[in-house]
Amino acid sequence: MVVVERRDEFEKLLDANEKMLRARAMKFCKHEEDAKDLFQAATLKMWKYFDSFTQGTNFSAWAHNVMKNTFINTWRRETKRHKILNEHPEDVLALNFSETQPSPERVAVVNDKRFSPPVQEALDGIDEVRRETLLLREVGGLSYAEIAEETDSPIGTVMSRLYRVRRMIKERIECRLDAPKEKVAV
């Protein structure tokens, strides 16, 4: 019963502040779709951490801080991601995480191993099964069900492999970004 009461309290406070929160999201993002994404992500975090909200205090200020921190964290993450992709624009084609069908050029990039050094190093250390699953999804554009059929694996296993391999690549690239740069003697 307590959970239902907390959910009702959260929904009541959110409903009362939704218009203001959506306006703040738009102010942060400047684009409607990004603002919708920010509002949704911030709302999920607000619900997740609603137990840390002290009843009787200013929900609007607390919610604003959650949204602001969500925006800042997302911006930092995207800035790091774009730094790698801007240094090596060919990786935008090779690791496009969209649902589009692969072009012959994208397939050639994968087959010829013409990834940028950070991405290639991250991919090189991955076992063949996970690498194949990732390439079938991200480059081949196959659905989870199609990959499961192709690899003769359960769909849950495919989803698990993709989650793990994406996390591995992300961590390896971030480690490379955070590593100190070698100084070149002039």
CATH number assigned to the domain comprising residue 40: 1.10.1740
Tell me the one-letter amino acid at 6: R
Whether residue 94 is contained in a domain is answered as yes
Asked whether residue 72 falls in the same domain as residue 109, the answer is no
Domain final residue, candidates 78, 111, 138: 78
Asked whether residue 106 falls in the same domain as residue 156, the answer is yes
User: What CATH code is carried by the domain that includes residue 99?
Assistant: 1.10.10.10
Asked whether residue 95 falls in the same domain as residue 165, the answer is yes
Asked whether residue 99 falls in the same domain as residue 162, the answer is yes
Does pLDDT of 106 surpass 70?
A: no
- Specify the pLDDT at position 108: 42
Asked whether residue 109 falls in the same domain as residue 74, the answer is no
Nearest to 169 by CA among 106, 91, 114: 91
Give the lowest-confidence range in 48-52, 107-111, 153-157, 181-185: 107-111
Whether residue 16 is contained in a domain is answered as yes
Asked whether residue 113 falls in the same domain as residue 174, the answer is yes
pLDDT band at 182 (very low <50, low <70, confident <90, very high): low
- Specify the pLDDT at position 13: 92
Question: Which DSSP state fits 57?
Answer: S
Does pLDDT of 159 surpass 80?
A: yes
Sign of CA dihedral 69, 70, 75, 81: positive
| Average pLDDT score over residue span 128-150 | 81
Asked whether residue 73 falls in the same domain as residue 112, the answer is no
Q: Cα separations (Å) of 145 from 8, 86, 128, 131, 151?
A: 38, 33, 19, 17, 10
- The Cα–Cα gap between 87 and 92 comes to 10
Asked whether residue 158 falls in the same domain as residue 93, the answer is yes
Q: Which residue has the higher pLDDT, 41 or 176?
A: 41
pLDDT band at 17 (very low <50, low <70, confident <90, very high): very high
Q: pLDDT for 52-97, tens place per residue? A: 888 889 999 999 999 998 888 877 777 766 565 556 555 544 444 4
Q: Which residue has the higher pLDDT, 40 or 186?
A: 40
pLDDT band at 3 (very low <50, low <70, confident <90, very high): confident
Whether residue 103 is contained in a domain is answered as yes
Task: Write down the pTM of the prediction.
Answer: 0.44
Q: Which domain holds residue 66?
A: 2-54+62-78
Structure tokens at 141: 């554009």
Asked whether residue 49 falls in the same domain as residue 100, the answer is no
Tell me the one-letter amino acid at 64: H
- Specify the pLDDT at position 100: 45
- Specify the pLDDT at position 151: 82
